[in-house]
Amino acid sequence: MALLEVRDLSVVFRRKGEEPTIAVDGISFDVEPGQTVGLVGESGCGKSVTSLAIMGLLPSRGVDVSGSVSFEGTELLHLSQRRLDERRGRDLGMVFQDPLSSLNPVVPIGVQIAEVLQRHRELSRKQARSEAAELLNRVGIPDPARRLDEYPHQLSGGMRQRALIAIALACRPRLLIADEPTTALDVTIQAQILNLLTELVADTDTALIMITHDLGVVAGLCDEVNVMYGGRIVERAERHALFTAPRHPYTNGLLESIPRLDAPRGERLVPIRGSVVDNIPWADGCAFAPRCPNAIEPCWSVTPALVADDGRMLRCHNPVEVPVTAGEGVR
């Protein structure tokens, strides 16, 4: 049985006097113990909302969450607030994009970590404190004993993100969700944090859901990658398969539109035309159809289903042809 099973998860935002917005539109995926799964997509594709829904962090008013999220057989969506609070932190940890706003600015780092330890692992104050120092040391914060008494604003962005990871890992969760954990950081710091995450996940056999817009981050980190567009998964594949032979025109378009550091110079980028505002509703066809270079007649009238195709899942009427020299990559 998978560690986390997400089935047909949908999130609809309802605002008074406005059309409801479907942020997540029936997505399903599994996370096996110790596995790293990527959710990739641009802003507005529903990847962050998915993570909030799994964690039960969406506001209850004005938001409809349906489907099922089962963690080790327990349905999380119908759990009472109290039971959910118990699970969060103990079984499920989360790391957010902006480490400064996710930490309480008026409480020292050490107290914030110790709090989690005291609550979920029932350690004494003293034990919690020394354990907190141990955790800070493990996430690579130098001089941890002194850092315990410092406030979030006294740490740099990278150090704050490390502290946040320390809090998320404090109770040795089985699953860690990282929502754009390195977007606010510089590249050299990003490399440090990604390295840290990889190491920690490997050492503790924690499963990781990595949510990002950066295909480069996913390429080196994730076992399986889900590409999201307009609230649905449009392609899912093992990372090597996905990057060497992207089949969905959106995945392919993303890969062709980003400048690669190792690409020969002078090569023109192939942008995806238009922007997300051009999308058509999934109910009418394929949301990506207006921007798709491969769009054919059915794309505008028939909703494509997510079907298995040669070891991957694909939601497309007219996928990109598998290149003849698949081994060498498409570019």
Partner 1 sequence: MTSSRAAKIDRLAATAAHKPTAEGEPQAGGNGPKSDAGVSLAASAWRRLRRNPMFLSGAVIIGLFLLLALLAPFIAPHDPGLRLLQDQVVQARNQLPPPQPGHPMGGDQYGRDFFSRMLLGSQQTLMVAVLATVIGLGGGLVLGTLAGAFGGWVDTVVMRIVDVLLSIPSLLLAVSIGAMFAQQSQFTVIIAVAIVQIPIFARLLRGTMLGVRESDHVLAARALGVKRRAIVFRHILPNSLGPVIVQSTLVLAIAILDAAALSFLGLGAADDSTPEWGQMLGNAQDFFDSQPHLAFWPAACIIAVALGFTLVGESMREALDPRQRR
Partner 2 sequence: MTDDVLVTVDDIKVHFPIKRGVLLDRTVGHVYAVDGVSLQVRRGETYGLVGESGCGKTTLGRALLRLVEPTGGSVVFDGTDVSTLKGEDLRRMRRRMQMVFQDPMSSLDPRQSVESLLVEGMRAHGLDKGKQATHQRLKELLAAVGLPESALRKYPHEFSGGQRQRIGIARALAVEPDLIVADEPVSALDVSVQAQVLNLLEELQDEFGLTYLVVAHDLAVVRHISDRIGVMYLGSLVEEAGSDELYERPMHPYTKALLSAIPVPDPEVEDTREQILLTGDLPSPANPPSGCRFHTRCPWRQPARCDTERPPLREVGSGHRVACHYAEEILAGTITPHEVEPELAQS
Q: Which of 57, 145, 202, 270 binds partner 2 (CB under 8 A)?
A: 270
**Other residues' Cβ atoms within 10 Å of the Cβ of residue 105:** 9
Which of partner 2, partner 1, none binds 272 (CB below 5-8 Å, type-dependent)? Answer: partner 2
**Residues contacting residue 13 through CB under 8 Å, at least 6 positions apart:** 20, 21, 23, 62, 63
Euclidean distance between CA atoms 196 and 138, whole angstroms: 9
Which of partner 1, partner 2, none binds 325 (CB below 5-8 Å, type-dependent)? Answer: none
Q: Give min distance, CB of 239 to partner 1, in A.
A: 26
Which of partner 2, partner 1, none binds 281 (CB below 5-8 Å, type-dependent)? Answer: partner 1
192 touches partner 2 by CB under 8 A: yes
Which of partner 2, partner 1, none binds 159 (CB below 5-8 Å, type-dependent)? Answer: partner 2
Q: Which of 63, 258, 280, 306 binds partner 2 (CB under 8 A)?
A: 258
Task: Choose one: 84-92, 218-226, 292-300, 312-320; the region binding partner 2 (CB under 8 A).
Answer: 218-226
Reading phi first (left if > 0) and then psi (alpha if -120 to 50, else beta), residue 139 is in alpha
Task: Choose one: 27-35, 50-58, 108-116, 138-146; the region binding partner 2 (CB under 8 A).
Answer: 138-146
Instruction: Name the residues that contact partner 1, by CB under 8 A.
Output: 13, 15, 17-19, 21-23, 25, 43-46, 49, 230-231, 275-279, 281, 287
- What CA–CA distances, in Å, run from 44 to 40, 272, 275, 278? 11, 16, 11, 13
Cβ 254 vs Cβ 235: under 8 Å: no
Euclidean distance between CA atoms 59 and 186, whole angstroms: 32
145 touches partner 2 by CB under 8 A: no
Looking at beta carbons only, is 159 or 299 nearer to partner 1? 299
Task: Choose one: 28-36, 57-65, 248-256, 310-318; the region binding partner 2 (CB under 8 A).
Answer: 248-256
Q: Which of 21, 74, 104, 257 binds partner 2 (CB under 8 A)?
A: 257
133 touches partner 2 by CB under 8 A: no
Looking at beta carbons only, is 48 or 161 nearer to partner 1? 48
Reading phi first (left if > 0) and then psi (alpha if -120 to 50, else beta), residue 73 is in left
Which of partner 1, partner 2, none binds 219 (CB below 5-8 Å, type-dependent)? Answer: partner 2
Positions touching partner 2 (CB under 8 A) are 42-43, 140, 142-143, 154, 156, 158-159, 186-192, 194-195, 213-220, 239-240, 243-244, 253-263, 265, 268-273, 275-277, 291, 329
